[in-house]
Amino acid sequence: MAHVVKPAAIGLAFILGLACAGYGCAWLKADACRAAVAEELSRKPVFGRDMLGNRVRVSPTEVSVRVTGPLQVEVSYMVPYDLHGSIHIQRFKVLPWSVKRSSSQVIDLV
């Protein structure tokens, strides 16, 4: 029985170590992902409408970021349309040496 427990414990420790390294990498690269989307918003402004119908610009400071898994970061911002709006989500795959945009999604709130 001891011959089975020790390799299983080593394997579990290895998998947990990889998961921790993946989350750590995602936390370290989260600001780079936020900066990429904020730079895109400042280069190509996005506008919405407030409740009075006035045109409002989405500020790069309104960008939020969260780590969704090992090596995965999600960046989002909201564009208002009167009482409604849309949430723009961009997902990134991060590695210690690169940051790649993997997908994007727009969710319309009604």
Hey, CA dihedral for 76, 79, 84, 86, is it positive or negative? Answer: negative
Question: In this structure, what token pair is assigned to residue 71?
Answer: 């090596």
Distance CA 70, CA 92 (A): 11
Question: pTM for this one?
Answer: 0.82
Instruction: Name residue, tokens 């961009």.
Output: 90
- Give me the chain's average pLDDT, please: 89
Distance CA 80, CA 1 (A): 61
What pLDDT, in 10s, does the model give residues 63-98? 999 999 999 999 999 999 888 899 999 999 999 899
